[in-house]
Chains A and B, each alone.
Chain A
């Protein structure tokens, strides 16, 4: 394959090449979405919102994978019903689709587990805000230290 031939110009000169920019704009936009999801996870304290952020991140990764399977001028990888495949028709790569189908289903499983954990956290601590949870945890640890610290030979 001539994919990695020696004539490939250096990366820096690519960036102002419109073919390169249009060919990669998709990936960059996925990364913007991914980072928005990550920002929600890192910067927002509400647990439900964190789960939404994780979902956004996840979906952006799915889009990246699906875009790798796309072939220009291709169509969905479904043959005609009579199974007479026209050899001139280009089909997109079905393998990423399969992997992402599996990932979507696993994603909803993990999301539901996370949401169940949130319900339990609300029950146990009466809040789903990260800051308040941290305060409660600190108070509990301090109380434990006062009560059992000397017996255990130091702070927990």
Chain B
């Protein structure tokens, strides 16, 4: 019960942060609020026993992505222009999608139900067998690096591809700018 109350409290802080992001025009404060959002998310992950996910989210979501976004707004613009269209149609679309998703949750088992289908198959197997198989205290580590090592290999491939993509997209930016300046003069 107390956990549910903490969860709901954290949620309301998250929703407030998200609504502030919707209305803010200065991109600097949008990016900072996005960092706050990530940190609150990390807290929520701790209440749901996902400590590994929490510190990854705190490091990656609140750290790296904030830095990347600050870099981007330094290169582009600091302010969002005022919206020209009304938000009624988007709101309608979002409300319908949300209602459909809520309808989808009605069939789901209660939060924390130990007999939910998700708790009955591979999860307990990993918990039971990893003591013998891996002899590592942290089950998340043994699944990540061994039972599901191929997932992690695929993830590494994605990160590598994205890194190459970013390099190709922004490489030579300074050189092109200098040439443009010379042409103008």
Contacts and interface: CB of A to CB of B under 8 A. Distances in A.
Interface of A: 1-3, 11, 14-15, 19-20, 22-29, 31-40, 42-46, 48-49, 51-53, 55-56, 59, 62-63, 66-81, 83, 85, 90-102, 104-113, 115-120, 122-123, 127-129, 131-132
A119 B75 contact: yes
B133 interface: no
Contacts of B83: 43-45
A29 B81 contact: no
B143 A98 contact: yes
Interface string B65-95: 1001101110111001101110100110111
A117 B115 contact: no
Contacts of B41: 59, 62-63
Given A29-B15, A39-B87, A115-B69, 19 more contacts: A26-B11, A48-B73, A52-B34, A55-B38, A55-B61, A67-B48, A70-B48, A83-B137, A91-B49, A93-B119, A94-B126, A94-B127, A97-B52, A98-B148, A101-B53, A104-B57, A106-B159, A109-B161, A112-B162
B65 A68 contact: no
Interface of B: 4, 7-8, 11, 14-15, 18-19, 21-22, 27, 30-31, 34, 37-38, 41, 44-45, 48-53, 56-57, 60-61, 64-65, 68-69, 71-73, 75-77, 80-81, 83-85, 87, 90-91, 93-95, 97-98, 101-102, 105-120, 122-124, 126-127, 131, 135, 137-140, 143-144, 148, 151-152, 155, 158-159, 161-163, 165-166, 169-170, 173, 176-177
A3 B15 contact: no
Contact of B144 (A2, A36, A101, A117): A101
Given A77-B49, A104-B60, A122 B119 contact: no
Contacts, number: 301
A1 B114 CA distance: 12
